[in-house]
A and B are shown apart, each in its own frame.
Chain A
Amino acid sequence: MTDAAPPLPGYVRTKLVDPFEIFVGPVFETGAPGARHFIFRVDERHVNMRGVLHGGMLMTYADLTLGAAVWDVTDYAPSVTLNMHTQFLKPCRAGGIVEVTPVLTRRTRALVFMRGEFTVAGEVIFTAESVWKLLGQD
């Protein structure tokens, strides 16, 4: 899947470094750091035996995109996910394009609070909120 083209015009491939993200990707983006909009196209690898996008893939995509947004606001400071809360609102099938613009809820010295509404064809299918810890910061 490393040679896949962007599913929509105007997007570039998101640079992924984690082996698990490269394995499930690719992911594409547009916009400047701090306001990046991400998309990925659901394919046969990402669905369950009923043909529905797997929650594990959505949560991985949430960790990836909200984590990228954390990097944007912390100038790539090392951080880890402390918590993620997710809600699954609507199923999605192969061929769907899942979009998100992560939103910064709050940043403190040691913590970053992020959230995202994930849409397919303009409808919200999934939401995620995550808390990140900046390593070495009290």
Chain B
Amino acid sequence: MPEGAVNVSIGGFNRFVGPLFRMPETPGDEARRFSFVATDKHMNSAGTVHGGMLMAFVDVAMSQTARAVSGAKSCSTVSLNCDFVGPGRLGDMIEARVRVTRRARTMVFMSAELASGDRTLLVATGLWKVPVES
């Protein structure tokens, strides 16, 4: 992993399917970036990365982003829509780029794209609920 990457899969299901990393911010790039490397456990029998793993990864990346922009300690996925654009391969370093469309008081609207190099694997939009600090 590049210098500055932070392991965000420190417990539970994230750790089980990880490691998953948050990438350092790039000046001038508003997207938040995350990555993981596809290993044997992530694959399907057709030799491509399992769609469930791609959805799990984008869910983690978008949840991390919702927490980061809201300052909340926790958040919940309300709705997630994923298009499977292309296959991921064993050994790919898969990167998520997450953008916040709108941050409202209790909701965060986001879009995300997963890519390996210049190949797009998945595009997603999703809605997260964040608790209001009282």
The interface residues of chain A lying within 8 Å CB-to-CB of B84 are 80-84
The interface residues of chain A lying within 8 Å CB-to-CB of B46 are 78
Is A105 at the interface (CB under 8 A from chain B)?
no
How far apart are B51's CB and chain A's nearest CB, in angstroms?
Answer: 5
A47 and B11 alpha carbons, distance in the complex (Å): 9
Interface size of B in residues (CB-CB distance below 8 Å): 34
CB–CB B52/A56 < 8 A: yes
- Stretch in contact with the other chain, from B21-29, B70-78, B95-103, B104-112: B70-78
Interface residues on A, range: 35 or more
Is A4 at the interface (CB under 8 A from chain B)?
no
CB–CB A20/B41 < 8 A: yes
The interface residues of chain A lying within 8 Å CB-to-CB of B59 are 54-56, 59
The interface residues of chain A lying within 8 Å CB-to-CB of B50 are 18-21, 60, 63
The interface residues of chain B lying within 8 Å CB-to-CB of A107 are none
User: Contacts A81-B84, A88-B76 hold; do A19 and B40 have CB atoms under 8 A apart?
Assistant: yes
The interface residues of chain A lying within 8 Å CB-to-CB of B17 are 23-24, 56
The interface residues of chain B lying within 8 Å CB-to-CB of A49 are 10-12, 14
Is B33 at the interface (CB under 8 A from chain A)?
no
CB–CB B52/A60 < 8 A: yes
Is A85 at the interface (CB under 8 A from chain B)?
yes
Which A residues from 36 to 66 make CB contacts under 8 A with B?
44-50, 54-57, 59-64
User: Contacts A46-B13, A60-B50 hold; do A88 and B45 have CB atoms under 8 A apart?
Assistant: no
Q: Give me the interface of B with A, judged by CB distance under 8 Å.
A: 10-14, 16-17, 40-46, 50-53, 55-57, 59-60, 63, 74, 76-84
13 contacts between A and B (CB under 8 A): A19-B43, A24-B16, A48-B11, A49-B11, A55-B63, A59-B52, A59-B59, A59-B80, A59-B82, A60-B56, A63-B52, A84-B55, A84-B81
List 7 other contacts, CB 8 Å, given A18-B43, A18-B44, A82-B84: A19-B50, A20-B42, A20-B43, A23-B41, A56-B60, A60-B50, A84-B55
